[in-house]
Amino acid sequence: MLTNKPKGTNDFLPDEVGRWQALEDLLREVSRLYGYREIRTPIFEHTELFQRGVGETTDIVEKEMYTFTSKGEKSYSLRPEGTAPTVRAYVENKLYAQPQPTTKLYYIGPMFRHDRPQAGRYRQFHQYGIEALGSDDPALDAEVIAMAMDIYRRLGLKDLTVELNSVGCPNCRLQHRQKLQEFLAPKKEQLCKTCQGRYERNPMRILDCKDSNCQKLTEGAPTIDQMLCPECQSHFTAVQKHLHALEVPYNLNSKLVRGLDYYVKTAFEIVATGIGAQGSVGGGGRYDGLIEQIGGPAMPGIGFALGLERILLAMKEQGLDLVADNPVEVFIATMGEDAQLMGSKLSQQLRQEGFAVERDYGNRSFKAQLKAADRYQVRYTLIIGEDELKNNMVQVKDMATGKQEPVALAEVQVYLNRNIRGREINE
């Protein structure tokens, strides 16, 4: 029990973390290129934020949140997603009052949903998300989708599809809701239990139920695209025009609804094949009413979040990898107590110079130290024995060629700079 992690969580060991760091570096770089700046919000928020923001009748709020009260205070929940917290911080810190018309924010971090764990679905998982607040320009919708695809392209991922829909605004949805309920009324009893509950509360979600029987029952059901109001229709047409201009292919999917209630107009999901049932590697959309609902001014917003575990899973599936640089560059092997002192001093000096230095502890045999150097896969091992100590020098062993040459202690920095960094420094 003590040595078991909670179900649906993961330990990321150092080799794996190297991969995560490389992915995060790429995400930060792409954020910069598109003008997004990082925001960090708390891991837990008032439960009410998600009830109001994500929606009372969503699966996330109804059954997947980790909710607790602390010392008789109000109810808190671990964040199941990043949009509502980002919008909350935007409103609370009055970021809307800043001079730039569109505030572009991004986040990378853990999210928590109590769902049944399986490949690609975890209870603690990680998202990279962006939120662009303050503009309803369809050009932005297209750019947001193009940005997500740009990330996957840079990672080398292939065979991803963008599923695109417009879920309309509250006006078009009212009409759709009525028509859909009329269509489903005679089949209501045959729907799955969850969808029977959705019939009153949120019938649109029945359209993207994964249950095959529900999918059959909704064949031919009225979809929102047939009922978009003129404004939503022209917005959707413009988004598609921009996507064509950006050469981003997409599938129109009138049954795509998404599991969060805040979406209006553009909704999209990016799906990978070959990673099992949890194929959605990212999703997002427009949420024009959310900022106002959370207590801010009436301002539009759009964003997406990508699941980092699923991205790495899809990459593995496609034979792609991200590798962090080998962290250790130099190993120092010493023989005898005085040499060890000199080695300690040299390690510190080289670290100040920016070299990653490792050494062996515990006065082990010379052979054992060289073995350790091999394991670290360093470029050079610096050897200090009695002779070297006497003559103020070290033996530099090139681990790739096995060649060894003496270098004066005072010249070691220059030598390593030249040979590792390709830089000449004159001291």
Binding positions for ligand HAM, rule: CB under 6 A: 81-83, 113, 115, 120-122, 125, 127, 129, 131, 259-260, 280-285, 303-305, 307, 309-310
Give the C-alpha separation, 272 to 311, whole Å. 9
* Residue 244 CB, nearest approach to ligand HAM (Å): 23
- Close Cβ partners of 71 (under 8 Å, ≥ 6 residues apart): none
The answer to whether the CB of 319 falls within 8 A of the CB of 295 is no
| Nearer to ligand HAM among residue 260 and residue 339 (C-beta) | 260
* Residue 309 CB, nearest approach to ligand HAM (Å): 5
Tokens 């590697």, residue? 281
* Residue 104 CB, nearest approach to ligand HAM (Å): 12
**Could you give the maximum distance between any two Cα atoms of the chain, in Å?**
95
| Nearer to ligand HAM among residue 282 and residue 296 (C-beta) | 282
Residue 131, CB-side half-sphere exposure with 13 Å CA sphere: 28
Residue nearest to ligand HAM (CB): 307
Q: Which of 239, 316, 307 is nearest to 275 (CA)?
A: 316
- Which residues, listed in sequence order, are joined to residue 48 by a DSSP beta bridge? none
Q: Where does residue 23 rank: exposed (0-12), middle (13-18), buried (19+ CB within 10 A)?
A: buried
Amino acid identity, residue 191? L
Tokens (6 digits) for 359: 């050494």
* Residue 107 CB, nearest approach to ligand HAM (Å): 10
* Residue 392 CB, nearest approach to ligand HAM (Å): 57
* Residue 387 CB, nearest approach to ligand HAM (Å): 58
| Nearer to ligand HAM among residue 138 and residue 307 (C-beta) | 307
The answer to whether the CB of 166 falls within 8 A of the CB of 235 is yes
- Close Cβ partners of 101 (under 8 Å, ≥ 6 residues apart): 134, 135
| Nearer to ligand HAM among residue 281 and residue 291 (C-beta) | 281
Q: Which of 300, 280, 291, 306 is nearest to 129 (CA)?
A: 306
| Nearer to ligand HAM among residue 38 and residue 182 (C-beta) | 38
| Nearer to ligand HAM among residue 217 and residue 281 (C-beta) | 281
| Nearer to ligand HAM among residue 113 and residue 379 (C-beta) | 113
* Residue 41 CB, nearest approach to ligand HAM (Å): 12
